[in-house]
Copies of this chain bind each other. A is one copy, B any other.
């Protein structure tokens, strides 16, 4: 750990220059505040001469004036801010690409995307904190937000609340991302490969239950009315933990494992190989996420490929919802899943 030494400046705080306001700009340019606002917001509806525009811009430049988004939104009654809670778990490249695309599409529609650091805040309490920023729309990944939280956000002026998660929340648009489907794909695939005793990795790392529980349920659903069985396999993302699980593998009598995602699957596959368990002959292994790295191991890792909604479609949904705040909430199933069969299963 690199240490930052604690310095004590030990001198009095200087007198700070006040932050320049649009009134200061108006005074210096010899125009009204309204004119300053028209010029700096590039309003074309009002005719203002080019010399006046120039004078306002020069005065703003000289004073170092920047418009205050909050003041503007107080006047307008709402902002152009789309608030998204920052994800609580590390995001993979898949989600990152999705988020960057969403952000750029919302930017094209003149919204500003702000991710809210929500460590330690949960459910409707988090909604209250978000509401204080008066966003025009809120996009909530994961679960935890309830109808009360949606109501708090709407009363604070949010015209649209969109959830990306396992279930609908009253009053919000729902993009259903049903991870049950991911497990179901893996289960059907392993059945079709002749496997009947299927382990399912359950990560011990916190915050992943919202994905791992429905994935497990999906495997169970695939196996319903067959003679196959499921065993839950709690696993920490550490080599030692994987080695311990691999060490007692043969006593478990399993012939396949769904590894939760590619990272856990790769960790366990390596530990099984080190223990002398043949993959896929003795045990078939399937991951999820279709990471590049899964193709670098031997055997190449079979996986469930996920399809997220396009950032453009989602940005357009947000914009539509902002324009028509009274419309019925929309519900869409947006998570696609399909197996990519490689050598490990």
Contacts and interface: CB of A to CB of B under 8 A. Distances in A.
A278 interface: no
A295 B107 contact: no
Contacts of A237: 292
B115 A2 contact: no
A327 B112 contact: no
A132 B69 contact: yes
Given A9-B327, A11-B327, A119-B107, A296 B295 contact: no
Contact of A326 (B13, B67, B97, B317): B13
A234 to B, nearest CB: 18
A115 B91 CA distance: 15
A19 B266 contact: no
Interface string A6-45: 1101011110110110000000000000000000000000
Contacts of A320: 6-7
Interface in A60-76: 63-74
Interface stretch (A188-196, A209-217, A305-313): A305-313
A93 B323 CA distance: 38
A288 B333 CA distance: 39
A307 B1 contact: yes
Interface string A92-120: 11001100100110110000111111011
A103 B119 contact: yes
A136 B19 CA distance: 12
Given A68-B132, A328-B9, A336 B115 contact: no
A316 interface: yes
Interface in A229-272: 237-239, 263, 266-267, 270
Given A93-B90, A295-B239, A2 B117 contact: no
Given A6-B316, A64-B152, A155-B66, A292 B117 contact: no
Interface residues of A, number: 95
A342 interface: no
Given A128-B66, A309-B4, A9 B324 contact: yes
Contacts of A14: 325-326
A314 interface: yes
Contacts of A266: 293, 296
Contacts of A335: 2
Given A69-B132, A70-B134, A332 B117 contact: no
A79 to B, nearest CB: 8
12 contacts: A14-B325, A16-B325, A19-B134, A20-B155, A70-B74, A103-B119, A104-B120, A112-B117, A114-B133, A115-B115, A267-B296, A270-B296
Interface of A: 1-7, 9, 11-14, 16-17, 19-20, 63-74, 77, 86, 88, 90-93, 96-97, 100, 103-104, 106-107, 112-117, 119-120, 128-129, 131-134, 151-152, 155-157, 175, 237-239, 263, 266-267, 270, 292-293, 295-297, 307-310, 313-314, 316-317, 320, 323-328, 330, 332-336
Given A4-B317, A5-B332, A114-B115, 14 more contacts: A1-B336, A2-B308, A2-B332, A6-B320, A9-B326, A11-B327, A64-B155, A66-B131, A69-B132, A69-B133, A86-B103, A113-B116, A115-B116, A115-B117
